[in-house]
Amino acid sequence: MQSHFAGIGTGNAPQLNEELPWHRFLLTNALPLTMSLLCVGLATGGLLLIDRFFPANLVPIVYLIPVIIAATRWGTLPAVTAAIGGAAAADFFFFPPFYSFRVDDPQTIIDLFLFLFVALISSDLASRLRRETETLRQREHEIQNHARAACSFTRSAIYELRTSGPLNTIRNPSDKPNSR
């Protein structure tokens, strides 16, 4: 039986391909998840500053901004994290009873679930747009490389035809010996 911790205690350092899958997952997703929660925190801070001038039922709309930012920059999982974090922050800070995750008003429950639904759909659409944009950029790069190769081939073929091909004798008939 081979352990994921092969090499520990034996003096051999574990190889990169022996990393645990969750460790690799954490390394590739920790920064985007943290950044998406930071965006939610910034939105919460901004909302707390203008809390007196902003109706509470519009608060979830502001939390769509971090969701869309997370989806377009980092993908679906950070966007879902931002959506859940935004719903939790909205409930905790802006809906009574304040500073509690308990919800007494049925309308608030509907508003939060509607926000989550819209945020998840928006994040999926924004993530798809991000992936399609990346695919289009890759294809554009490939097309440019193919076009450069075709131009280079055409230039070299024209050069060969001019210097050593039959066109050279057609263009310079004076170089032919006279048959008279």
Position 6 scores a pLDDT of 46
| Within a domain: 91 | yes
Q: Can you give the pLDDT at residue 172? A: 55
Q: Quick check: is 87 in a domain? A: yes
Residue 153 lies in a domain: no
List the domain range (segments joined by +) for residue 65. 31-129
Please indicate, yes or no, if residue 70 is contained in any of the structural domains. Answer: yes
**CA terminus-to-terminus distance, the chain:** 94
> Does an H or E element contain 106, and which?
helix 106-164
Q: What is the pLDDT along the chain (180 residues), one digit of tens a residue?
A: 444 444 444 455 455 455 677 777 776 778 888 899 999 999 999 998 887 777 777 788 889 999 999 988 888 889 999 999 999 999 899 888 888 888 888 888 888 888 889 988 988 888 888 889 999 999 999 999 998 988 988 888 888 877 875 555 555 555 555 554
pLDDT at 156: 86
Q: How many domains does the chain have?
A: 1
Position 137 in a domain: no
pLDDT score of 139:
94
* pLDDT for 43: 93
CA distance 91 to 94: 6
pTM for the model: 0.62
pLDDT score at 127: 85
